[in-house]
Amino acid sequence: MRSIDLQLPIADAAPPGESDPAVLHAAAQALGLPFDAIAAVRVRRRSLDVRRRREPAWVLRCDVFTAGEPLPGDHLPTLLQPLHLAKSIGNLRPIVVGMGPAGLFAALTFADAGVRCILLDRGEPVEPRSLHVRDLRIHRQLHAESNLCYGEGGAGTFSDGKLYTRSKHPLVRPVYERLVALGADRDILVHAHPHVGSNRLIPMMKRLREALLEAGHDLRFGARVDDLVIEDGANPRVVGVQLATGETLVGGPVLLATGHSARDTYRMLARRGIAMQRKDFAIGGRVEHPQELVDSVQLGPLAGHAAVGAAEYFLAQTVPGSSVAGGATSTRGVYSFCMCPGGFVLPSPTALLHLNVNGMSNAGRNSPFANAALVAQLAATEFYLETPGDLDDDPDFGAHMAGGALLGVALQARLEQAAYTAGGGGYMAPAQRLTDFVAGRESVDLPDKYSYRPGVAPARVDRLLPRRIVLALQGGARQVERSQLRGYLTAEAMIVGVETTTSSPVRVLRGADRQSVSHAGLYPCAEGAGYAGGIVSSAIEGMESARAILAGAPSR
């Protein structure tokens, strides 16, 4: 077997497959072998190179097997993989809080080891949750406990199902394989920028729920955790949780995988003395373009080609910084986040009279719109609005708690309240033509067509965000237009406010054993604890935290 890279012209209506004669011929030519000497080709990775507009090509990384060599199997592991551990785990009964990627893959890891767990989520299963999401988009009714962030599958269920990660972690492939076992397209195993699509994630979550129930796990929805059960002493230990219903569940350890939007959980942790600190994150708005425009800019003559599909982009710029609390910064990063080709802008608040936005795409990516967040980095030392310290003692959000660890949470909430008001209520979103945002002027009107429901209202988005962030976004957009994506800065695009949940502004501190540094028995993990960002990295976080619990469990 030899590994080689191949380049093939874009010709057919579908990407090249392993059995395509063109692939086999290209492999033979690359190796200097006759065609009939090639027994099989396995594509390990496929990407599209459009940098050379006149000669765009598919780039394939392949394993080539010649005649007489043993061929690889085509086996994918089943969803549940019992490991039949040699030792017993005793009476271990982990409590997993959150059914996003981290919590679900932790539960799969426990199932592998023959350990049953209690799996809790404050939201609902995907079937009623989908109706609750529709209620917000169509009827302007927010379900505070079941929405785009809370519920089975977590926030990723309604955000395109992007799987792209720069991580080279050995668990990336097993995550992909289990998603294929759940019903994802096998193409995610080779695509350079794989995604599932929200419409496919919903039935996948149903299959996963059935598998976890079959494994003996106890799944509970509408089960918000309001407190921890702690054995006090010189070395406090978390031994359970208390639900909003008043029920107490004792066992543990407790694996905390709540996601980045459970702000009441952060406040509870702070009251309980769990060690936390502020963490850098990014804020901005979501920019929507006509997909045809993005296709034309990115693909040129390939725009609309069936094999290529909707074009995407990834933006990154560094702009001059501004004075911040605690000193000065010379530069600030501005970048695109969660790009959704052929997608929709969605309302994603979790609190009444708040508004923040996100994006999603279905598997076909066939909406006439493309959207992505345009955000600027915000250092943990500058979590304020315009006057340093103006959030320190905010009574509504407990910003002063845990030594100011919740300042970023308070900032998010203030910005979301301002966005709701600027949109006129009813979860209408404030929006501004991108050219007007960059120029710092009012938009007298907005594009006639857009994806956001309930709807958009003209507003000064450039006045909703902190001035230092607006200046960075304006400079970043100009630089993108000049040097990275000509055509990006157009009156056909609008920026919708506000994007506040790119990641958690809090980190729950843990040690090398993945337990809280202040409270044994508590395993904070993934995006909500400040250690991951995205479906794959969160799933890996859940798997590794579950393995840490298993490794530390006493034998019977």
CA gap 521, 548 in Å, rounded = 11
Token digits for 116?
A: 């049953």
Can the peptide bond before residue 554 be classed as cis, meaning omega within 30 degrees of 0? no
39: left (phi over 0), alpha (psi -120 to 50) or beta: alpha
517-548 tens-digit pLDDT: 999 999 999 999 999 988 999 999 999 999 99
Cis peptide leading into residue 454 (ω within 30°):
yes
Write down the pLDDT at residue 396: 78
| pLDDT value of position 554 | 64
Q: Kindly list the structural domains of the chain, giving each domain's residue range(s) and its CATH number in brackets, ordered by start.
A: 2-66 (3.30.70.2700), 95-276+508-552 (3.50.50.60), 281-499 (no CATH)
How crowded is residue 68: how many other Cβ atoms within 10 Å of its Cβ?
7
Six token digits for residue 77: 């592991």
- Residue 494: what are its φ and ψ, rounded to 5°? -135, 155
State how far the Cα of 352 lies from the Cα of 141, in Å rounded to an integer. 9
Structure-block tokens of residue 103: 């919590």
User: HSE-up of 170 (CA within 13 Å, CB side)?
Assistant: 1
Q: Does residue 350 contact residue 261 with C-beta atoms inside 8 Å?
A: yes
Nearest-10 Cα torsion for 394, 395, 397, 401: 80
How many angstroms separate the CA atoms of 449 and 301, rounded? 25
Amino acid at the residue 82: P
Measured between alpha carbons, how far is 289 from 490 in angstroms, rounded to an integer? Answer: 9
Tokens of 270: 């702070």
Distance CA 123, CA 152 (A): 7
The set of residues, in sequence order, having a beta carbon less than 8 Å from that of 447 and lying 6+ positions away, is 433, 492, 494
Q: What residue type is 170 in one-letter code?
A: P
Report the distance separating Cα 381 and Cα 279, nearest Å: 9
219 and 111 in contact (C-beta within 8 Å)?
no
- 205 Cβ contact partners less than 8 Å away, ≥ 6 residues apart: 125, 126, 152, 153, 157
pLDDT of residue 211: 93
Q: Residues near 59 by Cβ (< 8 Å), separated by ≥ 6?
A: 5, 6, 7, 46, 47, 48, 49
> Residue type at 404?
G
Rg for the chain (alpha carbons), in Å? 24
Looking up tokens 């203030």 gives 414
Torsion of CA 417, 423, 428, 430, to 10 degrees: -100
Nearest to 261 by CA among 417, 180, 155, 411: 155
Q: How far apart are the first and last CA of the chain?
A: 46
Q: Is the dihedral of CA 182, 545, 145, 155 positive or negative?
A: negative
Q: How far apart are alpha carbons 457 and 422 in whole angstroms?
A: 8
| Torsion sign across C-alpha atoms 338, 344, 350, 354 | positive
Task: Give Cβ neighbours of residue 73 (< 8 Å, ≥ 6 apart).
Answer: none
pLDDT, averaged per 10 consecutive residues of the chain (556 residues), comes to: 91 80 93 93 88 75 91 71 52 94 96 94 96 96 96 86 79 92 90 86 93 94 98 91 97 93 95 96 98 92 85 94 55 94 96 96 93 96 87 82 92 97 98 98 96 97 96 97 95 97 96 97 96 92 97 68
Cα distance between residue 372 and residue 383, in whole Å: 24
pLDDT at 479: 97
CB 465 within 8 Å of CB 374 = no
pLDDT in tens, 286-325: 999 999 999 999 988 888 888 888 999 999 999 997 644 4
Kindly report the backbone phi and psi dihedral angles of residue 294, in degrees, each rounded to the nearest multiple of 5, phi listed first.
-65, -40
pLDDT at 85: 42
- Three-state secondary structure readout of 1-24: CEEEEEEEECCCCCCCCCCCHHHH
8 Å CB contact between 154 and 542: no
